């Protein structure tokens, strides 16, 4: 919306910070009438689900497929 664009510009001009997930989540929470603390719950739930999906994806892959090899090249 125009208000979010204007707020983003003012914040960027004053602090150099740009919009992130917190602004988007705040806008969604405000637009949908969520409780004041709902944004934190939505963020935590989404993050947890993301971790679970990554874990399930890794379980489906061959074991140790990302095993880095290091070689000492010091004195």
Looking at residue 15, its pLDDT comes to 94
Any domain includes 73: no
Any domain includes 67: no
The predicted model scores a pTM of 0.61
Instruction: Note down the domain range covering 24.
Output: 2-59
Any domain includes 16: yes
Looking at residue 67, its pLDDT comes to 72
Any domain includes 12: yes
Looking at residue 14, its pLDDT comes to 95
Looking at residue 4, its pLDDT comes to 86
Buried b (16+ CB within 10 A) or exposed e, 28-60: ebeeeeeeeeebeeeeeeeeeeeeeeeeeeeee
15-72 pLDDT, tens per residue? 999 989 888 898 899 899 999 889 899 999 999 999 999 999 988 888 777 777 778 8
CB 8, CB 14: distance < 8 Å: no
Any domain includes 7: yes
Domain count, the chain: 1
Any domain includes 69: no
């Amino acid at each position: 919306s125009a208000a979010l664009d204007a707020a983003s510009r003012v914040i960027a001009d004053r602090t150099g910070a740009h919009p992130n997930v917190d602004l988007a989540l705040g806008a969604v929470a405000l637009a949908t009438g969520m409780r004041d603390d709902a944004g934190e719950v939505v963020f935590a739930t989404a993050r947890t689900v993301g971790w679970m999906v990554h874990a399930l994806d890794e379980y489906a892959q061959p074991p140790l497929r990302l095993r880095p090899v290091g070689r000492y090249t010091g004195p």
